[in-house]
Chains A and B, each alone.
Chain A
Amino acid sequence: MKPYQIVDRYARSVFELAEEQGKSETFAHEIDVLSRAMRNQPKFLDLLENPLVTREEKRALIKNILTVEAVHEPPLLLERFLTLLVEKGRIDLFSAMARQLHNKLNEKRGVQEATAVTARRLDPNVVELLKKALEKMTAKKIVLNLQADPSLLGGVRICLGNRLLDGSLRTKLDSLDSQLTMAKV
């Protein structure tokens, strides 16, 4: 499934620019931090979208925030990217672009993200085993994201992007239930 074209186009151009400067990793990290911050402070996005706030004010706002956040050198590329998005009125797509950039970096590094949902927290040894097995299956480096959901009862449910490996007891019981209650006379 393709992302929206415009999101992909913006993300690709800024990613290529970052690569040329050899800063794709730091840039992706910066974007990640910013998008997480924006999710926590939705008002900031509202402010950037607000037509009553002038362009100069917005530009100053972005500059201020980034100089406060940055520890070492100021993230020039990010600042320019944000300013561009504000000026073109595309800032509402920022979180989608951040996700797309994240995917691009993973693709470049040969990393696949996976989510493993289990009924209880897993033993670190088991996690390691699971990771090995998934790496063998996908032939990619796996970054495993662990979640606990007691309603699963047992087993594990693994999400790899748009694919699902469902070995949970809950699903097994549900399908057994539907098979047994199907009318048979």
Chain B
Amino acid sequence: MLKPEEVTSAIKSEIQKFEKRLQMESVGYVLQTGDGIARVYGLDDVMASELVQCSDHTYGIAFNLEANNVGIVILGSDADLKEGSLVRRTKRIVQVPTGNALLGRIVNPLGEPLDSKGPVPAKTFRPVECVPPNVVRRQPVKEPLQTGIKAIDSMIPIGRGQRELIIGDRQTGKTSIAMDTIVNQKGQGVHCIYVAVGQKLSSVVALAKMLEEQEAMEYTTMVVASSEDPAPLQYLAPYAGCAMGEEYLYNGKHALVIYDDLSKHAQAYRQLSLLLQRPPGREAYPGDVFYLHSRLLERAAKLRDEEGGGSLTALPIIETQAGDIASYIPTNVISITDGQIYLEADLFYAGIRPAINVGLSVSRVGGNAQTKIMKQVAGMLRLSLAQHRELAAFAQLSADLDQATKNQLTHGDRMVEILKQDTLACVPLERQVIAIYAGNKGYLDDIRLDLVKTFEAELYKFMETKYSAVVHDIVKEKVLSETIEKRLIEALSAFKKEFLTRHGN
């Protein structure tokens, strides 16, 4: 219960602490304003990307320092700003609240709440721009970050501290992969931050509701700069989200930041740059659009154990136009990240979901972070699936194939089928291992294609009830030892016999 006397004494002590020293401030006057930017005369010793106060509650960032004016981008509404308005220096850069106070919250890029849960009672703040840890402070990525998606965990594994790009056309399930990954982090000690840049508010609300239903908001923060927000806020959002993740990184904890999506972010930055009359380059993006993304993604890291061993994993998302991954922003981000997951519309419509194009997707460091058992089971899976796709495309042309090719095609089809997965149906590691082992060893080859999903579901149930010791050993040892393999084969043969008698094939 809040007592009035306590509040009064708290306010009294605050006022006593409050002492404002009179000092010379550097100020400027607005020459011109519009489109969310202002040109200011004065501000003699302002520094690049310093926060400036435009009026009582409007702030801006000094973007362009020119000979006779300072270009400022306004964070928020520029409605109160007039020609001749006073602009003050603040001598600091933009900061956002960080820490556990943000868990379960939806905030804007300045850390102000957008949900109805009251103010954010943060104890710590971090500047949005920050120098990433250097080589000495890092260690190689070695812990896996389980996404709960069979196709990704087996073929394109992601490690904690890695930057893995999710790229694809609109409506190919990019955000679903990110959402599944967040949901699968429950109880893993990974704090998730979802940064929405330039998205419809309705879809952001739907995602928030979905996370709430999955009880994933408990360890998740959403940073939202929707399409109705001014470009400066959209530009700031990924850096703000990253700063929130860094709080965990530098305190020996694990964070996962999803930037959805960076193509919109680049467009917001292009808008700012063009309005500030910076020279346009290719596709009208400014010259430093590469640095825009590289300095953001370079902040993902896995720290050394002496530094606490924290990690910050980044999953940037890029939307391509008609599958063109060779345009400007996609190639930039592909070259910055440690691999990409390429989603294809054709696969999506063919019912292969997640619609991952295995040939074009790769994880450049995750292999080291993959669990040993998964590596043993799924080692050659990516290559053989990529081969299967080519073979299948070729086989469409000819009617009669030899038996070996036919067998190869049936096997490949079963593997594709077993890697299909619904959204929000996260599969734990042991189940993934069992399913992929069964597929790889050909246990599915004589099962009808439409029964593969049933086979999979019943196999999980069978293993967990009748052979729970094997499942337990897989979870505990995480290595495919000879004994485990022998018992696994025994279990699979037993189940298959039973399955075939039931379904008659």
Contact = CB atoms under 8 A, between A and B. Distances in A.
Interface stretch (B115-123, B188-196, B349-357, B412-420): B115-123
Instruction: Give the size range of B's interface with the partner.
Output: 20 to 34
Nearest to B120: A183
A176 B120 contact: no
Give the most central of B23, B27, B43, B69: most A CB within 10 Å: B27
Interface string A146-168: 00000000000001111111110
Interface stretch (B12-20, B263-271, B487-495): B12-20
A185 B88 CA distance: 29
A3 B66 CA distance: 11
Given A1-B69, A164-B86, A174-B56, 11 more contacts: A1-B42, A1-B68, A2-B67, A3-B68, A161-B42, A162-B26, A165-B25, A166-B25, A175-B18, A183-B121, A184-B121
Contacts of A1: 28, 41-44, 67-69
A60 interface: no
Interface string B35-48: 00000011110000
Given A164-B88, A184-B121, A185-B121, A172 B27 contact: no
A162 B27 contact: yes
A85 to B, nearest CB: 20
Contacts of A164: 24-27, 86, 88
A184 B124 CA distance: 11
B280 to A, nearest CB: 24
Nearest 10 A/B pairs, CB to CB: A185-B121, A183-B119, A162-B42, A164-B27, A164-B25, A2-B67, A183-B121, A167-B22, A162-B44, A163-B24
Given A2-B68, A162-B44, A174-B56, A179 B14 contact: yes
B135 to A, nearest CB: 38
Interface of A: 1-4, 159-167, 171-172, 174-176, 179-180, 183-185
Contacts of B86: 164
Contacts of B44: 1, 162-163
8 contacts: A1-B43, A1-B69, A165-B24, A165-B25, A167-B22, A179-B14, A179-B18, A183-B122
Interface of chain A, main secondary structure: mixed
Nearest to A182: B119
A179 B15 CA distance: 9
A165 B24 CA distance: 5
Nearest to A171: B20
B48 to A, nearest CB: 15
B469 interface: no
A4 B68 contact: yes
A1 B86 CA distance: 16
Nearest to A4: B68
Q: Which of A3, A166, A171, A176 has its CB near the most chain B CB atoms (within 10 A)?
A: A166
B279 to A, nearest CB: 20
Interface string B47-68: 0000000001000000000011
A160 B27 CA distance: 10
Given A165-B24, A166-B25, A180 B11 contact: yes
B121 A176 contact: no
A166 B53 CA distance: 14
Contacts, number: 57
Contacts of B41: 1
Contact of A175 (B20, B27, B28): B20
Contacts of A3: 68
A137 to B, nearest CB: 9
Nearest to A181: B119
B53 to A, nearest CB: 10
A179 to B, nearest CB: 6
A165 B22 contact: yes
Contacts of A176: 15, 18
Nearest to A183: B119
A167 B86 CA distance: 15
A162 B43 contact: yes
A180 B14 contact: yes
Nearest to B15: A176
A140 to B, nearest CB: 15
A103 to B, nearest CB: 13
A171 B88 CA distance: 12
Contacts of B121: 183-185
Nearest to A172: B20
Nearest to B20: A172
B111 to A, nearest CB: 10
Contacts of A172: 20
Contacts of A162: 26-28, 42-44
Contacts of A160: 24
Contacts of A163: 24-27, 44
Contacts of B22: 165-167
Nearest to A161: B42
B92 to A, nearest CB: 14
A25 to B, nearest CB: 27
A184 to B, nearest CB: 7
Contacts of A159: 27
A175 to B, nearest CB: 6
A174 B57 CA distance: 10
A179 B20 CA distance: 11
B406 to A, nearest CB: 67
Nearest to A158: B24
Interface in B252-299: none
Contacts of A184: 121
A1 B45 CA distance: 9
B27 to A, nearest CB: 4
A167 B22 CA distance: 6
Contacts of A167: 22
Contacts of B15: 176, 180
Nearest to B65: A1
B136 to A, nearest CB: 37
Nearest to A165: B24
Nearest to B57: A178
A174 B55 CA distance: 11
A1 B44 CA distance: 6
Nearest to B14: A180
A30 to B, nearest CB: 26
A176 B11 CA distance: 10
